């Protein structure tokens, strides 16, 4: 469990409904940032600052935000104090989602220097609001599909490059595109390696190479969920900007399904053991389609198609593919 989640666990352990004032602890980042617990036992961040031209208070799907709010608080030493804060409160009781909220907000707060002025603080608070505003939108992709993409990133030797090449829009033609080559991730919960393709998807531009990643996604009760993979990826990436980019894409993709997404776990070891990559040229396609016909889609069994080895991927002149395994 991360440091921020441990702090909240401590607040929960010491929670008392008899206390009318909010109990808070200081974050290691700065004494200006506090973490508290609401009467509903959900996390709340207090960011000490008096913002000029602050927005109106907001109530989003999962969070509420109060600006320039005078708050009376009490710390671990039973000291009471009142100051002006921006207050960000989660209104979800799901423990996994609470931990995710804590980690996402804490990650953004880490990017704020201790002596920052209100302008920079407002800029980072707006990023938090932007992320959680996606939760009012419909999901653009299934949890299974996103889990498979995260698995490919987690297994990569160069996860930073993959994240930078990841689709910024969920309806992008390819999952990963570095401006030269393309990588499309397909997942299946079937016993055979059968995936759905669109004909257009298997036809990259003339000077680009397209690789297909094939992932078995077997749902289990004790596997790994998307937040587990997120944490594993973050363990490999110290760059806070890259971590924030990954969070942003996850929010965009999952939309209003984000809180439910933590309920889905998949067999991690099966996915790793059976992860395969295929040259798009080797995948059978429908040919001689009349020009008047479009949006051609089909299912293809890749079980007997030769996959690419690690050495095959290394030989391709592509930064995108070189670190896949």
Q: Tens digit of pLDDT per residue, the chain (325 long)?
A: 489 999 999 999 988 876 778 999 999 988 899 999 999 999 999 999 888 877 789 998 899 999 999 999 999 888 999 999 999 999 999 898 999 999 999 999 998 887 777 788 888 999 999 999 888 888 878 899 999 999 999 999 999 999 999 987 767 889 999 999 999 999 999 999 999 999 988 988 888 999 999 999 999 998 999 999 999 999 999 999 999 999 999 999 998 889 889 999 999 999 999 999 999 999 998 888 888 898 999 999 999 999 999 999 999 999 999 889 7
Query: Strand locations in the chain, DSSP E?
Result: 22-27, 30-37, 43-48, 58-59, 63-74, 80-90, 176-177, 182-188, 194-198, 210-216, 219-220, 265-266, 276-279, 297-301
Contact between 37 and 98 (Cβ < 8 Å):
no
Provide the pLDDT for residue 122: 87
| Rounded Cα gap, residues 89 and 101, in angstroms | 10
Question: What whole-number distance in Å separates Cα of residue 189 and Cα of residue 218?
Answer: 5
Beta bridge partners of 88: 45, 65
pLDDT at residue 26 in the model: 94
Relative orientation angle of helices 95-109 and 118-133, to the nearest 10 degrees: 150
What is residue 170's predicted lDDT score, i.e. its pLDDT? 63
Helix (H, G, I), strand (E, B) or coil at 111: coil
pTM higher than 0.75 for the full model?
yes
Pairing state between β 63-74 and 22-27: parallel
Which pLDDT score is estimated for 38? 94
245, 168 in Cβ contact below 8 A? no
Q: What integer pLDDT is reported at residue 18 of this predicted model?
A: 67
**What are the tokens at 274?**
């059976």
């Amino acid at each position: 469990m991360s440091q921020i989640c441990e702090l909240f666990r401590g607040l929960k352990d010491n929670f008392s409904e008899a206390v009318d004032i909010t109990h808070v602890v200081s974050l290691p980042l700065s004494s200006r940032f506090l973490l508290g617990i609401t009467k509903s036992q959900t996390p709340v961040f207090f960011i000490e600052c008096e913002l000029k031209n602050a927005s109106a208070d907001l109530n989003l799907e999962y969070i509420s935000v109060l600006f320039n709010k005078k708050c009376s608080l009490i710390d671990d030493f039973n000291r009471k104090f009142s100051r002006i804060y921006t207050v960000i409160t989660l209104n979800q009781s799901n423990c996994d989602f609470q931990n995710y909220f804590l980690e996402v907000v804490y990650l953004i707060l880490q990017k704020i220097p201790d002596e920052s002025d209100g302008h920079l603080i407002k800029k980072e608070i707006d990023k938090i609001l932007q992320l959680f505003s996606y939760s009012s939108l419909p999901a653009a992709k299934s949890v299974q599909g996103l889990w498979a993409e995260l698995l490919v990133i987690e297994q990569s030797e160069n996860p930073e490059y993959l994240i930078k090449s990841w689709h910024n829009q969920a309806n992008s033609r390819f999952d990963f595109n570095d401006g030269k080559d393309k990588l499309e991730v397909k997942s299946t919960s079937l016993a055979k390696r059968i995936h759905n393709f669109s004909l257009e998807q298997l036809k990259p531009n003339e000077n680009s190479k397209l690789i297909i990643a094939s992932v078995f996604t077997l749902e289990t009760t004790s596997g790994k969920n998307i937040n587990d993979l997120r944490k594993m990826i973050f363990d490999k990436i110290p760059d806070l900007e890259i971590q924030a980019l990954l969070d942003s894409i996850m929010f965009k993709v999952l939309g209003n399904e984000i809180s439910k997404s933590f309920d889905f776990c998949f067999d991690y070891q099966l996915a790793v053991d059976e992860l395969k990559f295929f040259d798009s040229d080797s995948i059978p396609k429908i040919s001689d389609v009349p020009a008047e016909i479009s949006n051609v889609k089909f299912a293809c069994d890749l079980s007997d198609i030769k996959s690419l080895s690690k050495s095959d991927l290394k030989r391709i002149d592509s930064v995108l593919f070189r670190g896949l395994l």
